[in-house]
Every structure is written in structure tokens, then in C-alpha cells.
Amino acid sequence: MSIYADVKKGPAIEVFALTQAFKDDSNPNKVNLSVGAYRTNEGQPWVLPVVRNTEKNIASDENINHEYLPVTGLDTFTSAATQLVLGADSIALKEKRAFGVQTISGTGALRVAAEFLYQQLKRNDVYYSNPTWENHHKIFADTGFTKLHSYRYWDQNKRQLDLKGMLADLDQAVPGSVIILHACAHNPTGSDPTQEQWKEIADLMERKKLFPLFDSAYQGFASGDPDRDAWAVRYFVDRGFELFVCQSFAKNFGLYCERAGNLTIVQKNGATRDAIHSQLTLIIRGSYSNPPAYGARIVSKVLNTPELRQEWMGCIQSMSSRIREMRQALRSKLVELGTPGTWDHIVNQIGMFSYTGLNEQQVRILIDKYHIYLLKTGRINMCGLNTGNIDYVAKAIHAAVT
Ligand code: PLP
């Protein structure tokens, strides 16, 4: 009998299973609206031209070698990433009480953050929105957190943020609880708090002494403007919170598989920096020793070179505006078809995803009958839509709803 005989097969990861089913599907009309990756109007992945040129330059640079990076990564990358999220004129940066460490993309930033909060700050309560990116639960549970809670976020009837429910749930949290907040472009709902609502959230979190952990996977990708997308983070920093920001460069640089990420730490004062830095170093050392250089070199070069940075801004604007056009187009087509229900939420939501409000049965029809792949919660990746398939998708949604 094998020593592995009792290992049970775990559940499939929905988003990867759907992508596989999409690949295996031979129907010519098939559409993949599941995975969170940008697609061009031709339905293809997009290597940002500024990224392509930068990688060519890096590849031909004889001074670059493949030595290990330091455990906490490439300094020029972490400082640029930290500045991107906090802002060049951030008071925390000026007072030298913020720094970053490189991580294995956004997921790795969350995992390193969770390990630090659990081991060093002895936190055991974490709150994430209901719904949220499904990995939040897993990352914190795998780290050892045993008190995993969700807070209300989405009002399914009104198809908008349930601020009252959110505040009521956070009001029950014990002081010191870690509260995961989506910095912008909430995944999966595409609904962010307004600035006024963020102020109410901050008031409550300050009063209850809750710890903000911002998950920033879509900076710049959401509105096309990285400063605008970082408003909530900067507002909390300006109010004096100590906090973490977990940054991903998967979407806004199109560097999905290169795993470029950063964990930004904001402190009350810089005196705690060296101790925090050393503990993060030990956590990373024991997990994967040191991070990959490829993606970080590209991001660093682009963010630290004014002309390239400008070019990158153009790229994120073009991605976010194509998404906005698809939102308008899908809503108009559903309205034109007279599809029952209101569809304004599709244009009011922001970022890559739309939480359509379609139920599980309607999703099943879309997958089985129309070969349109989406999550069973009704979340669709707007980037999967294009001028070639939007009529087909709108008609299929109409048929599934009626
Ligand atoms: N956080 C959220 C909300 C996400 O949607 C994602 C990716 O889909 C991530 C974090 C992390 O992504 P990655 O590890 O690819 O950077």
C-alpha cells in the first residue's frame, strides 16, 4: 500500500477549471469571461509595447546577469512600487516611515503579510469582504489564522455596495483585527466605496483600532490613472494609520506570469523599520529564499524612466478605456434587447470585473448552451468581451434571463 494512498483529491480551482474547459471546447463561438487577464479587441493577450521594448533592452544588456537578488528584492523596484502607491509627495515617505519588500506578485505579498501579522503581531482575526477574491481565505487559513470572518459588502438586490452592512460587521471586530480592503476595482463586484464612504470606513477602523491591509491588484488599470486608483490607500496613510499594501504588477503591466509584487509597510515612525525589515527577510528566506528578477527589472526600468513611465500611462489608459467601452456596449445591448432587470450597474462598476447579478442557473445555461465561460457567482471579466462577440454574449444573457 502506498504511503500516498490516503491523500484525497482536493476541489478544483474554479477559474482555472473554467479556462481549461474553454480551451477544450471546440465550439467556434466560445467566449472566456472567467480568468482575470486583459484581452485585446481581437481576444488576444497583450504584451504592453513599453514592456516588450524594455525586455528587449534588458535582454541585450551585457551588464545584467543572473545572480541572486537580495532576499527582499530589487531596491529600485521596491522603492518605485512603494512610491507608485503612496504618491511621490507622501508624508510617510518624506518622514522615512514607509518601505517595501519585493514579493511573488500580489498573492506572495498577501502571504508574506499574513505570515508577519500572525507570527510577529500575533494577529488571529482577519476579515475579508463577502464576496471577495477567493484566495484571501485560503492564504490566511494556510498561514494559521483560525478566526476568519467575512464582512457584508454587496447588496444583491440593489446591486451596489452595502456600506451599512459593512460598517455593522466591522463594528463587531475585536481591536487589532486585520481588515482586507480592496484598494480599487473590487474583485469580484467592481464596486468601490466612494470617497465619502471610505471616510466612514476609516472613522470606524480608527475608533475600533482595526488594521487595514490594502490589496492593490489593479492600480491604474481601474480608472487609467494610478493616482486616482490609490486614493483610498493615501487617505488612510494621511490619517495616520499604520498599514500594509499588497501590490501586484500582473494586471497593470500585463506581467501575470512574471510574479512581480511588492509589500509596502507604513509605520508610525521609522524607528521600527529595521526590525520589521529583518523579520520580513526571515519569512521570505524560509519560504522561497529570494524573488525572481525578470518582472521586477522591467517594472523598475519603466517606473524609474520618465519617458517609459509616460508610455506606460498611455497603455493603462488604453486598457481601461477599452473596458469602459465594453461596459457601455453590453449595457446598451441588454437595454435594446429589453432584457428583464436593470443593467446600469454594469457601467457603474469599475475595473476588470462585472458582477452581473446572473444566478447560478443562468450561468449554467450560458456555459452549457452558449459556450460562454464565467464564474458561478455571475462574475464576468469585461476584457473577454470585444466588438466581435458582444452581440452574441448579450443575446445569450438575454436568453438565459428570459
Ligand atoms: N488580489 C486580488 C483582488 C486579485 O484579483 C488578484 C488577482 O487576480 C490578486 C490579488 C493577486 O494576483 P497575482 O498574485 O497574480 O499578482
Residue 81 · residue 303 · CB < 8 Å: yes
For residue 260, the ligand 1 atom closest to its alpha carbon is 16
Taking the C-alpha atoms of residue 400 and residue 361, their distance in angstroms, rounded to an integer, is 9
Total Cβ atoms within 10 A of residue 9: 5
For residue 250, the ligand 1 atom closest to its alpha carbon is 16
CA–centroid distance, 120 to ligand 1, in Å, is 24
What values do phi and psi take at 149, rounded to 5? Answer: -125, 155
pLDDT tens per residue, range 190-245: 999 999 999 999 999 999 999 999 999 999 988 999 999 999 999 999 999 999 99
Cα angle: 52, vertex 106, 78; to 5 degrees:
70
CA–centroid distance, 67 to ligand 1, in Å, is 28
CA–centroid distance, 168 to ligand 1, in Å, is 27
Query: Which pLDDT belongs to residue 76?
Result: 98
pLDDT tens per residue, range 354-385: 999 999 999 999 999 999 999 999 999 999 99
Query: Which pLDDT belongs to residue 39?
Result: 95
* pLDDT lower than 50: segments of the chain: none
Question: What ipTM, to 2 d.p.?
Answer: 0.99
Total Cβ atoms within 10 A of residue 368: 9
Residues 6+ apart with CB under 8 A from 381: 32, 33, 34, 35, 36, 37, 352, 353, 374
